[in-house]
Amino acid sequence: MPSPSLPTFKLGLIGYPLSHSLSPQIHNAALRSCNLKGDYALFPIQPEDKQALKDLLNRVRSGEIHGLNVTIPHKQNVMPFLDNLTPTAESIGAVNTIYLRNDKLIGDNTDTPGFLADVKLLIDSSVFSFQPSALVLGAGGSARAVIYALLNDGWDVTIAARRREQAKQLSDWFTNYQLQTTDFTLSNFELSNIALIVNTTPLGMAPDIDRSPWPASLPFPKNAAIYDLVYNPSVTKLVRDAHAQGLIATTGLGMLIEQAALAFEIWTSQPPSREIMRASLEQFLTTDYRVS
């Protein structure tokens, strides 16, 4: 039975749209795993509705809500309404976790440590030696956390994006690092030294499960590891194609769980069971994919 001495936690997610979010399943499983009372709700707020954002954050200030996650398009929109940012959130320029400390509204980003913890499991499973050189596909909000994690872990990073100006803006954000950019087609780009490829785009996400961000006629770099932030379907076309070439590859399900667990521990001071959180998602992930 939940302990009567602990509060009933009111948690939730800000974003738009949110109809396909799995966050309630994963966080309610975390509550159960820690024997805590509470619930996790969705708060869909349209991109231009700044007053709704402010009103919702005031519910955190008042103690009515104990913690919020933030997803697109609000990872940057919430920042003007916060009192402080953690060093990670400030360096990335994006927030995915909000909480109250000492009457101050704090913005944090658990995507970075969540990604790094999971990608290290992937790299550690590799039998190959490698130089830390990574290729990041995409230059949107998710790419920010991934690139920051890799740069701080000592990786050389190249950004491949459809919109070169977006890649340049992202490269310019990390002024203390040397970042390369290249075309999304990867034409005239030397791949032989790439040890890690990370897809931060939504290409391949259900229901468009027969798509991949990787150029169809281009072989993967030999001995590279592939990390696809897309986690639904449970095996993406990118991951499937990498396996077909004998490479190690995984989806972003581990990152999803880890970033959620880290946020949950910030809010509740309780470490949730990653295994229970993962099990809570199994029925919601697409597993029947077309074989190309």
Strands 249-251 and 225-228: parallel
> Where do we find the tokens 């990574």?
134
Tokens for 214, please give them: 């990787």
Number of continuous H segments (helices) and E segments (strands) in the chain: 9, 12
Written as one letter, the residue type at 94 is A
Active site residue 75: yes
How many CB atoms neighbour CB 169 within 10 A?
13
Q: What's the length of the chain?
A: 292
CA 206 and chain centroid, separation: 17
Count of C-beta atoms within a 10 Å radius of residue 73: 16
Q: What is the rounded distance in angstroms from the CA atom of residue 26 to the CA atom of residue 207?
A: 21
Residue pair 139/116 in contact by the 8 Å Cβ criterion? no
Element spanning 169, H or E: helix 164-173
CA distances from 148 to 89, 111, 155, 250 (A): 10, 10, 10, 20
Contact of 263 with 279, CB cutoff 8 Å = no
- Which of 75, 120, 222, 237 is catalytic? The answer is 75
Q: Tell me the catalytic residues.
A: 75
